[in-house]
Structures are given as structure tokens and as C-alpha cells.
Structure 1
């Protein structure tokens, strides 16, 4: 099934000040996270941003924080976003069956979130070029595991173009700028 701007939610997982800098290639996660968040805004996809224990790990990185609405930020202590009742409530309130996931760490919070949401019946996609772990091996293992479990692995460009659906979409030219 294709991703659809009318059916999806973008979930940015734990891209926080004390966690992001120690990831493998954190700039890739930030740049591609920005592309996803800006693209979501262009086509009306709601954005949720989880923060793992922000008192200890700090807030979401400013690169992403400035792109989200204040009520988009949801604190958690569970590794899986699906283990946090406030996040599940927000997903249910949005009433969208698809969740596109990006963030860190790929092998912990991203994987646990994706597996749980997939099990719960959400059309779950993990954006492979917008996730990271401290060790590349951990990220590779996570992506392999997710694929075996039936979670779709996608790229930023796949997400953005599927959300558009047609080159005649009013946001097409703005979306192209995000990719170039």
C-alpha cells in the first residue's frame, strides 16, 4: 500500500540534544528529519514528536523542534512510543491508519515502536535514511529485523513523493526544493 498524506501521521522519535550527537551520522537524521517534517507540513500530515525522558536527555534538537507545533511534543519513559498512553491516545484521536517513523535509536525506540504499532494494525513505515544508532551494526540489525517482521522500510524521497501522489499537486514545486 502506498503512503497517503490523508491517511498518515509522521512520528519523530527521540531526536534529542543529549542523544543525537552520539549517533552514527546524526546530521543525516536531522537533515532528513527536517525534510520529512517540512514535507508533512506542505501536504497536511500531522506530526508527533516523542521525547525520551527529556529531563535527562534534553529537548528535541532545535533543527526539528522549531518545525513542530508546541502540542506535538510527547514525553515518554517507555522505549516504545506505543507503551506511552498519551502517545497512543494522540494517534487514536488523529484517526489515521498509517504511521511513518523516523528518529533514534533505530535498534531501541524506533524498532520497539514500529513493531508494536505494526502489531496493533497500523500501516507502519520506518524511514531508513532518517534513523540512526550509535553503532552502524545496531542500525543494520534493526532494519533487517523490521523488514523480516513486515514493517515497510522506505526512504525520505519515497515518503515525500507518495504523499504528493501527482506532479500536479499544489505543493509539488515546494516539495521538489526539499529534495534537491
Structure 2
């Protein structure tokens, strides 16, 4: 799940390009491994669509517009999640301490296993990002990194998937 990596928000995010680069790698790997992807867009009329290079990294991603900070409070998003029959949700995006945080906490309360990709999350203010990460950790959200995710998805070396994704890791 990619939360609000949008045209008018992304330029204001500290280390935005690094967040986008990690997000693109995760999306390309997800596409290769047939892991479904969902994008949320907070008030796209005002903040624009998902940043094009990030959007292009995914194939067949669902896009859900929202006005609530937590995507879990949007019926359309929850319908998509139910249709995918996912019980685990991997989250990255912007802003860590607002939409990412509220979505992660709500999904956790609803019984989903929530994993936050810490190196693929950003906020305008680095302190807000750190406090958002701290709060999520305190609330039981599992913090992971891009490499943790990729190697867990792969499970083993020596496969075609491993060789393909290894290029993304290096």
C-alpha cells in the first residue's frame, strides 16, 4: 500500500526522492511476484495524482481517492482490501505522522497484520517522521525495511525471482 505519494505533496517531503526510490523498488518487486498494490490519493483535486514515476512502477495497482486521513475510514479502500483477501498490509508513503500513521493504527485495530516500510516513509519535518515511527512501534506496528521485505518475499536464493530482484537490491 502506497499512501499519498502525490505531485503537490512529494516536493515538500524531507528526503522525498529517497522515499520514492525505495517505493518504486518495492512496487517493481511486487509486480514481479504478483503481490497486489494499492495507491491512496488524499484530495487529488488539491494535491494532484500519485507521482508518475511511482505510479508507473506498479502494474495493475488499485487507486483509491480519499478525504479522510486514514484510508481505513474510506469504504472504497476497505472494499478493495476485502476483495484482495489480504490479512497483511505493507504500508509506505507520506506523511508518516498523519495519513500513514492513522491508516496503520486503524488497520491494526481492525485485525490486519500491519508492516511499515520505514525507509519508504517520509514527512515534511524529519522530527514528525521519527515521532510517527516511534508511536507506530509503540502501538505494535511492525517496522521493516525494503531489504527485509524483498528477502522475505523471496524466501530463498537461487531462483529466477531471486536473480531478478537481486538487481533491485544492489
TM (norm. structure 2) is: 0.97
Give the distance between the partners of 2:131 and 2:162, measured in 1 at CA: 35
Cα drift, residue 67 of structure 1: 2.4
Cα drift, residue 70 of structure 1: 5.9
Give the distance between the partners of 1:76 and 1:68, measured in 2 at CA: 20
Residue from 139, 144, 158 that aligns with 1:149: 139
Gap regions ≥5 residues in structure 2: none
Alignment coverage as a number of residue pairs? 170
Gap regions ≥5 residues in structure 1: 1-10
Aligned residue in 2 for 1:6:
none
Cα distance change on mapping 1:71 and 1:163 into 2, 3 Å: closer
In the TM superposition, what whole-angstrom CA distance separates every residue of 1:48-99 from its partner, at most 9, and x where no partner exists? 0000010100010011111234661110000001011000000011001100
Residue from 15, 25, 39 that aligns with 2:5: 15
Cα distance change on mapping 1:63 and 1:71 into 2, 3 Å: closer
In the TM superposition, what whole-angstrom CA distance separates every residue of 1:33-55 from its partner, at most 9, and x where no partner exists? 00100010111100000000101
In the TM superposition, what whole-angstrom CA distance separates every residue of 1:127-152 from its partner, at most 9, and x where no partner exists? 00000000010000000000000000
* Larger RCO (CA within 8 A; separation ≥ 6): 1
Give the distance between the partners of 2:60 and 2:151, measured in 1 at CA: 27
Aligned residue in 1 for 2:25:
35
TM (norm. structure 1) is: 0.92
Give the distance between the partners of 1:68 and 1:58, measured in 2 at CA: 18
